[in-house]
Structure 1
Amino acid sequence: MKRRLSVENRMLIEQLLRLNYKLKDIAYYVDSTSSTVSREIKNRRITGKGDFKECNKTKRFPYVCNGCNIKTYCRKKKYYYNYIKAQKNYNYLLEKSRIGIDMSIDEIDYWNDYFKDKIKNKNQPISHIFNNIKDEFPKSIQTFYNYVHKGYFSSINDEMLSRAYSYKPRKRTNEKPTIRFDNVIRFGRILKDMNKYIEIHPNSNIVEMDTVMGKFEDKKCIMTLYFRNSKLMLMFLIDKYKPDSVSNVFKKLRKQLESEIFKVLFEVILTDNG
Structure 2
Amino acid sequence: KNKLLTHQERLIIETGIRNGSSKKAIADTLGKEKSTIGKEIKLHRINSYKCKLPLECSNYAKCKHGRFCSTSCPDYIPFSCSRRDRSPGACNGCSKFSSCRFDKFFYKPDLTHKEYCSSLINTRIGINVTVNEIKQLGSILLPLLKQGQSIYQILASHPELSYSEKTLYTYIEDGVFKNVGIDISVFDLRRKVSRKIPKKKAITYKKREDRRFLKGRLYSDYKALMLEHPDFNVVQMDTVYNDVSNGPFIQTFKFIKYGFMFAILHDKKDAQNMLEGVNLLESIITPELFNTKVQVLLTDRGSEFTAADAMEIREDNARRTSVYYCDPLQSCQKGSLENNHIGLCYICPSGTNLHKLGLLDQEDLNTVISHINSSPKEKLNGKSPIEYLEFLNPVLMKKFYDFGMTKIDKDKVTLKPYLLLK
> Whose radius of gyration is greater, 1 or 2?
2
TM-score bracket, shorter-length normalisation = 0.3 to 0.5
Give the TM-score taking structure 1 as reference length: 0.35
Query: Of the two structures, which has the highest relative contact order with CA contacts closer than 8 Å and spacing of 6 or more?
Result: 1
Give the TM-score taking structure 2 as reference length: 0.23
